[in-house]
């Protein structure tokens, strides 16, 4: 009855379930349980990969190798696997010689950078709440520990401490509680840690992306605003609260009371103390700390402004003037000027300036926009200040970049912010696929390696083109174009997208139930609502308020809005360089991808085990979906079947040629004989070395310029080389020490004999010499006098050298500072130039489309004018016919009037005749009556 099926006894629910053979996968032998590297599994299938991850996760082994990259599952609890003992365990160790760990990947990147002199990058990716930020912190912690120039890793230098303490500051201002994560990064960052040629940290620089500004003014019920708001309200001292006029609790502020007010197990007061300590370590002055926190206080006061409405006119009004006074005092601007700029801002209408009345909704929108831009500019200032502290001069140009960026997001309501984040993740996933699958196989083809090309089906370019392309116009370009159209709306933008893409791409579908569209990403299909997209992309501000803030009595507030001050032509020109949010994000992402492409990448794929934030609970379906989207299984397959490690002929020969000795057999002797005669072809030399090493032929391939190895082979050769080098070094050291010791002993013996001979001779010859006796007595005095003079001279020279050194060091410091500022300015100019070029290309494309549209409209206008001329001619003809008809009507109206007059006269005559006839009838009747009476009387007579 159950042919071709298996019957399973499901113990958890005590029932039998029938499953087809084709629906199950083979189980790996017990020896592969909790395998460190899933590429080693005998049976590679989805079920075995998920089972291996789950079994390791339940045993607190959250890290697992997946071929060439690392999989990290969020434990949702603290694990004792990041101590200094663990750092020592992984320092300078091969990846295969230690259990999987984020430290192993970091150490591999560090050693590759030093050995190959090539920039490295570590990409920590995954969904929101998967643990990206924590793993990024561990990477930085490891690099700071292993590069500290001390004997122990428990003591860090000041600069390394500053690198580590920059993270708490960024977390306070850039992280918040979300549904999936209590400490979720709401911005992306690429941390470049620079190293000198000796391997010491020489500097660091942070690029940041996509700060979630909307969180400042709105949060969902289960989330919070940024940590710094709660830390300031709960942890500020009495004097600080008085300075910022903060007299309430968390629930008293509108921007904080719509969501969660605390995080279980976290004290905002203690976190604020840690933040102040981090500020001190970073070298922030008291004034700089006050300036940063002042911006936070201003935003809290903005949120508490109550806007009313005039009953008669419908204009907005300020309900509580005392709250406005608090805000203006903290901002450093006049109350009346702020109220006027907010409620009745001046705007230019033609050549004149007029005061515009604002509604309640418009004023509320202006306040929210002001709060968001204040936070964004304050955050930008904070990151720039951290970069000034960490970005130092270096004698080398190598770096390790660590990328931590918001993961793929799918919510019930997805808007413009989610599209930007998902577009970024789409580009990063494409980078991963291109590096792991495409470039790998293309190099096999270039090197004539026998290989059957495998199409893993991960082409993400159609979706990326749909978002970013300018020709044909993509979503961002269409949005930018509509932002400059005077009558464009969110609805017209959506309809335009439907017209452009609904029938041209299977990745795009119109939304069925709301104003928006559905986009197919690598992770899932996402429905986006386009409500408010034009305003979000333009990010408009009240120019009256920003100009007022540029004149603030608080220097930091004025500095944040310095570009908005009215000034000369240069200032106006700078203000004219308008960037939409989409344009800025595309420019930043282009710069990031260029940096990543210039490095050797290492991938860490973070996995979210469940949505409940519970430890030791794994949702297998959820995990499997993430593995499929991230290309984990395909990465394992190509690592198992391909040749992931490769070296050029010169590198391989230089590094592993020492393994081939005279005792290595005929091949080694042949190589030595060929080398002694002069030139040896690199390919032939490598083949001789590989044959002499007696490696399995299937474990390597010799290409045109490189030697390729399967996973693990190069590690084996490296172990053999290290053992040989260690034995050779030990032998050299032992012989060198013996030689030096013998030479030292012989020299001491010779000196001892010489001293005895000289002593005897001198004693015999100088015993009776009077001059020698006087010299012996005067020598101590001469030596003392000479030493005194020399000491004074040395002191004088020393003081001069110290002064010269101080002057030289001062000049050198000033020169380095000028050079650093020049490099920073040059970098900014180059970035501005690149962005201007990209913007010019986009504007040219928009101009081309506008010109084409103008030509089409002019053609339509010409046709319409021709139709108008024809219609005017027809109208003239109809008017002539109408005039003729009017004349005929007038003529017939005259005849009708004549007829009416005749009829009236005849009716009058008829009426007179009728009256006359009535009179005659009456007379006749009277006569008849009279005749009747006469006739009666006659009859009586």
Task: Give per-residue pLDDT as tens, 202-234.
Answer: 889 999 988 888 899 998 888 999 999 999 999
Q: Can 610 be counted among the known catalytic residues?
A: no
pLDDT confidence bin for 380, thresholds 50/70/90: very high
CA distance readout (Å), 127 to 73, 98, 206, 225, 629: 11, 27, 22, 20, 11
More confident residue, 722 or 235: 235
φ/ψ of residue 678, rounded to 5: 130, -130
- Determine if residue 127 is labeled as part of a ligand binding site: yes
CB-based contact 586:54 (threshold 8 Å): no
Distance in angstroms (rounded) separating the CA atoms of residues 614 and 438: 38
Task: State the virtual CA torsion across 822, 824, 828, 831 in degrees, nearest 10.
Answer: 110
- Determine if residue 631 is labeled as part of a ligand binding site: no
Q: Among 267-281, 560-574, 732-746, 901-915, which stretch is predicted with the lowest mean pLDDT? A: 560-574
Pairing relationship of beta strands 600-607 and 525-529 according to DSSP bridges: unpaired
Whether 495 shows a pLDDT value over 60: the answer reads yes
For residue 540, give the DSSP letter: -
Which token pair is 87? Answer: 């750092």
Average pLDDT over residues 3-9: 50
Q: In the beta sheet, which residues pair with residue 70?
A: 65, 604
- What is the model's pLDDT at position 929? 81
Q: Can 183 be counted among the known catalytic residues?
A: no
Q: Can 765 be counted among the known catalytic residues?
A: no
Pairing relationship of beta strands 600-607 and 69-73 according to DSSP bridges: parallel
Q: Which of 121, 184, 529, 552 is catalytic?
A: 184
Q: Can 925 be counted among the known catalytic residues?
A: no
Which token pair is 255? Answer: 């921007």
pTM: 0.71
For residue 65, which of 34, 38, 27 has the smallest C-alpha distance?
38
Distance in angstroms (rounded) separating the CA atoms of residues 538 and 580: 5
- What is the model's pLDDT at position 272? 94
Q: Which residues contact 883 (CB under 8 A, 6 or more apart)?
A: none
Whether 576 shows a pLDDT value over 50: the answer reads no
- What is the model's pLDDT at position 226? 95
- What is the model's pLDDT at position 140? 92
Q: Can 350 be counted among the known catalytic residues?
A: no
Q: Is 655 exposed, middle or buried (0-12, 13-18, 19+ CB in 10 A)?
A: middle
- What is the model's pLDDT at position 454? 67
- Determine if residue 876 is labeled as part of a ligand binding site: no
Q: Which residues contact 205 (CB under 8 A, 6 or more apart)?
A: 191, 192, 194, 387, 390, 391
The number of residues making up the chain comes to: 941
Whether 271 shows a pLDDT value over 90: the answer reads yes
Q: Can 128 be counted among the known catalytic residues?
A: yes
Which token pair is 845? Answer: 């494309």
Pairing relationship of beta strands 307-309 and 15-20 according to DSSP bridges: unpaired
CB-based contact 148:195 (threshold 8 Å): no
Task: State the virtual CA torsion across 784, 788, 793, 794 in degrees, nearest 10.
Answer: 80
Whether 574 shows a pLDDT value over 80: the answer reads no
Q: Which of 104-113, 714-723, 776-785, 901-910: highest mean pLDDT?
A: 104-113
Q: Which of 28, 128, 366, 580 is catalytic?
A: 128
Alpha helices in 214-359 (DSSP H): 227-235, 238-244, 268-282, 286-303, 321-331, 335-343
Which token pair is 304? Answer: 């508490």
- Determine if residue 128 is labeled as part of a ligand binding site: yes
Q: Among 147-161, 339-353, 624-638, 901-915, which stretch is predicted with the lowest mean pLDDT? A: 147-161
CB-based contact 65:636 (threshold 8 Å): no
Q: Which of 409, 447, 481, 554 is catalytic?
A: 409
- What is the model's pLDDT at position 157? 61
Distance in angstroms (rounded) separating the CA atoms of residues 52 and 41: 9
Q: What is the largest CA-CA distance in the chain?
A: 234
Domain locations in the chain as residue ranges: 645-747
Q: Among 55-69, 343-357, 784-798, which stretch is predicted with the lowest mean pLDDT? A: 343-357
Helix, strand, or coil (residue 333): coil
CB-based contact 636:66 (threshold 8 Å): yes
**pLDDT tens digits, one per residue of 63-104:** 999 877 899 999 999 999 999 999 999 998 888 789 999 999
Q: Can 133 be counted among the known catalytic residues?
A: yes
| pLDDT, mean over the chain | 84
Distance in angstroms (rounded) separating the CA atoms of residues 113 and 401: 11
Q: Which CATH number fits domain 645-747: 3.30.70.1590, 3.40.640.10, 3.40.190.10, 3.90.180.10?
A: 3.30.70.1590
- Determine if residue 130 is labeled as part of a ligand binding site: yes
Q: Is 231 exposed, middle or buried (0-12, 13-18, 19+ CB in 10 A)?
A: buried
For residue 22, give the DSSP letter: G
Tell how many helices (H) and how many strands (E) occur in the chain: 29, 21
Q: Can 665 be counted among the known catalytic residues?
A: no
Distance in angstroms (rounded) separating the CA atoms of residues 202 and 196: 6
Q: Which of 135, 172, 182, 185 is catalytic?
A: 185
Preceding omega of 442 cis (within 30 degrees of 0): no
- Determine if residue 280 is labeled as part of a ligand binding site: no
More confident residue, 121 or 322: 121
Average pLDDT over residues 847-860: 79
Distance in angstroms (rounded) separating the CA atoms of residues 491 and 488: 8
φ/ψ of residue 275, rounded to 5: -65, -45
For residue 582, which of 420, 427, 466, 470 has the smallest C-alpha distance?
420
Whether 11 shows a pLDDT value over 50: the answer reads no
- What is the model's pLDDT at position 173? 95
- Determine if residue 752 is labeled as part of a ligand binding site: no
CB-based contact 169:279 (threshold 8 Å): yes
Whether 721 shows a pLDDT value over 90: the answer reads no
For residue 615, which of 73, 28, 23 has the smallest C-alpha distance?
73
Average pLDDT over residues 12-29: 67
More confident residue, 763 or 126: 126
Average pLDDT over residues 115-142: 90
Considering Cα of 86, then 92, then 98, then 99, what sign does the dihedral take?
Answer: positive
Average pLDDT over residues 839-866: 79
Q: Is 46 exposed, middle or buried (0-12, 13-18, 19+ CB in 10 A)?
A: middle
- What is the model's pLDDT at position 268? 92
Residues above pLDDT 70, as percent of the chain: 91
Q: Which of 67, 174, 401, 407 is catalytic?
A: 407
For residue 550, which of 565, 532, 535 has the smallest C-alpha distance?
565
Q: Which of 66, 133, 550, 599 is catalytic?
A: 133
- What is the model's pLDDT at position 897? 86
Which token pair is 290? Answer: 């006050």
Q: In the beta sheet, which residues pair with residue 645?
A: 709
Q: Among 9-23, 343-357, 416-430, 571-585, which stretch is predicted with the lowest mean pLDDT? A: 9-23
Whether 148 shows a pLDDT value over 60: the answer reads yes
Q: Which of 66, 178, 181, 470 is catalytic?
A: 181
- Determine if residue 129 is labeled as part of a ligand binding site: yes
Q: Is 881 exposed, middle or buried (0-12, 13-18, 19+ CB in 10 A)?
A: exposed
Average pLDDT over residues 779-799: 80
Q: Which residues contact 421 (CB under 8 A, 6 or more apart)?
A: 210, 406, 407, 408, 409
φ/ψ of residue 703, rounded to 5: -95, -155
Q: Among 23-27, 228-232, 619-623, 910-914, which stretch is predicted with the lowest mean pLDDT? A: 23-27
- What is the model's pLDDT at position 571? 43
């Amino acid at each position: 009855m159950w042919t071709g099926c298996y019957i399973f006894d499901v113990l958890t629910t005590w029932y039998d379930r029938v499953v087809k053979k084709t629906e199950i996968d083979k189980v790996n032998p017990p020896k592969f349980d909790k395998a460190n590297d899933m590429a080693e599994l005998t049976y590679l299938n989805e079920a075995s990969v998920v089972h291996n991850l789950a079994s390791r996760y339940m045993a607190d082994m959250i890290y697992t190798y997946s071929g060439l990259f690392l999989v990290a599952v969020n434990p949702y609890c603290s694990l004792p696997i990041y101590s200094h003992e663990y750092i020592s365990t992984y320092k300078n160790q091969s990846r295969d010689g230690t259990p999987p760990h984020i430290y192993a990947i970091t150490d591999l990147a560090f050693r590759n950078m030093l050995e190959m002199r090539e920039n490295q990058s570590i990409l920590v990716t995954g969904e929101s709440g998967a643990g990206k930020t924590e793993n990024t912190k561990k990477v930085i912690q490891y690099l700071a520990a292993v590069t500290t120039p001390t004997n122990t890793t428990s003591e860090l230098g000041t600069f390394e401490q500053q690198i580590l303490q920059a993270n708490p500051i960024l977390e306070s201002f850039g992280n918040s509680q979300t549904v999936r994560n209590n400490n979720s990064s709401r911005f992306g960052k690429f941390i470049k840690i620079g190293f000198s040629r000796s391997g010491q940290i020489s500097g660091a620089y942070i690029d940041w992306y996509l700060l979630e500004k909307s969180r400042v003014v709105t949060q969902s019920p289960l989330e919070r605003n940024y940590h710094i708001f709660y830390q300031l309200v709960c942890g500020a001292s009495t004097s600080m609260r008085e300075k910022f006029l903060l007299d309430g609790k968390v629930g008293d502020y509108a921007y904080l009371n719509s969501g969660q007010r605390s995080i279980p197990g976290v004290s905002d007061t203690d976190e604020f103390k840690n933040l102040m300590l981090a500020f001190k370590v970073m070298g922030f002055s008291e004034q700089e700390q006050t300036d940063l926190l002042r911006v936070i206080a201003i935003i809290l006061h903005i949120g508490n402004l109550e806007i009313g409405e005039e009953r008669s006119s419908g204009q907005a009004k300020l309900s509580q003037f005392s709250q406005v006074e608090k805000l203006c005092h903290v901002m450093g601007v006049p109350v009346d000027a702020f109220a006027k700029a907010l409620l009745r801002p001046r705007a230019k209408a033609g050549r004149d300036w007029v005061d515009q009345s604002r509604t309640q909704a418009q004023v509320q929108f202006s306040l929210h926009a002001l709060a968001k831009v204040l936070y964004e500019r304050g955050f930008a200032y904070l990151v720039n200040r951290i970069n000034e502290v960490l970005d130092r001069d270096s004698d080398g140009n190598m770096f390790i970049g660590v990328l931590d960026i918001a993961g793929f997001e799918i919510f019930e309501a997805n808007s413009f912010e989610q599209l930007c984040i998902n577009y970024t993740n789409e580009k990063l996933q494409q980078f991963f696929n291109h590096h792991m699958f495409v470039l790998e196989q293309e190099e096999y083809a270039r090197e004539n390696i026998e290989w059957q090309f495998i199409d893993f089906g991960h082409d993400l370019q159609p979706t990326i083109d749909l978002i970013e392309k300018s020709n044909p116009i993509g979503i961002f370009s269409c949005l930018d174009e509509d932002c400059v159209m005077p009558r464009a709306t969110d609805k017209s933008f959506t309809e335009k997208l439907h017209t452009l893409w609904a029938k041209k791409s299977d990745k795009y579908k119109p939304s069925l139930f709301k104003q928006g569209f559905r986009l197919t990403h690598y992770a899932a299909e996402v429905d986006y609502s386009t409500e408010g997209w034009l305003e979000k992309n333009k990010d408009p501000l009240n120019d009256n308020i920003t100009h007022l803030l540029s004149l603030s009595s608080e220097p930091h507030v004025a500095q944040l809005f310095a570009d908005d001050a009215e000034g000369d032509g240069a200032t106006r020109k700078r203000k004219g360089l308008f960037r939409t949010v989409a344009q800025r994000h595309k420019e930043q992402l282009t710069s990031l991808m260029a940096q990543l492409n210039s490095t050797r990448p290492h991938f860490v794929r973070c996995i979210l085990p469940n949505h409940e934030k519970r430890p030791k609970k794994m949702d297998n379906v959820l995990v499997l979906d993430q593995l499929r989207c991230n290309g984990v299984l395909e990465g394992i397959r190509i690592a198992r079947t391909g040749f992931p490690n490769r070296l050029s002929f010169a590198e391989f020969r230089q590094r592993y040629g020492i393994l081939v000795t005279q005792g290595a057999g005929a091949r080694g002797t042949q190589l030595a004989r060929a080398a002694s005669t002069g030139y040896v072809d690199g390919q032939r030399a490598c083949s001789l070395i590989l044959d002499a090493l007696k490696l399995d032929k299937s474990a390597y391939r010799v290409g045109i310029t490189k030697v390729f190895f399967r996973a693990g082979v190069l590690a084996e050769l490296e172990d053999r080389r290290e053992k040989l080098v260690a034995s050779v070094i030990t032998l050299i050291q032992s012989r060198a020490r013996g030689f030096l010791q013998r030479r030292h002993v012989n020299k001491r013996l010779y000196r001892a004999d010489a001293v005895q001979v000289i002593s005897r001779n001198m004693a015999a010859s100088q015993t009776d010499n009077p001059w020698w006796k006087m010299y012996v007595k005067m020598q101590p005095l001469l030596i003392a006098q000479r030493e005194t003079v020399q000491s004074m001279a040395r002191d004088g020279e020393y003081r001069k050298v110290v002064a010269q050194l101080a002057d030289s060091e001062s000049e050198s410091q000033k020169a380095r500072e000028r050079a650093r500022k020049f490099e920073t300015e040059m970098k900014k100019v180059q970035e501005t130039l690149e962005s201007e070029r990209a913007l010019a290309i986009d504007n040219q494309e928009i101009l081309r489309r506008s010109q084409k549209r103008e030509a089409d409209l002019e053609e339509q206008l010409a046709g319409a004018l021709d139709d108008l001329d024809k219609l005017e001619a027809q109208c003239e003809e109809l008017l002539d016919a109408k005039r003729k008809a009017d004349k005929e009507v007038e003529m017939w109206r005259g005849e009708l009037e004549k007829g009416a007059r005749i009829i009236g006269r005849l009716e009058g005559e008829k009426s007179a005749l009728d009256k006359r006839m009535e009179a005659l009838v009456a007379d006749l009747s009277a006569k008849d009556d009279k005749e009747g009476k006469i006739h009666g009387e006659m009859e009586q007579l």
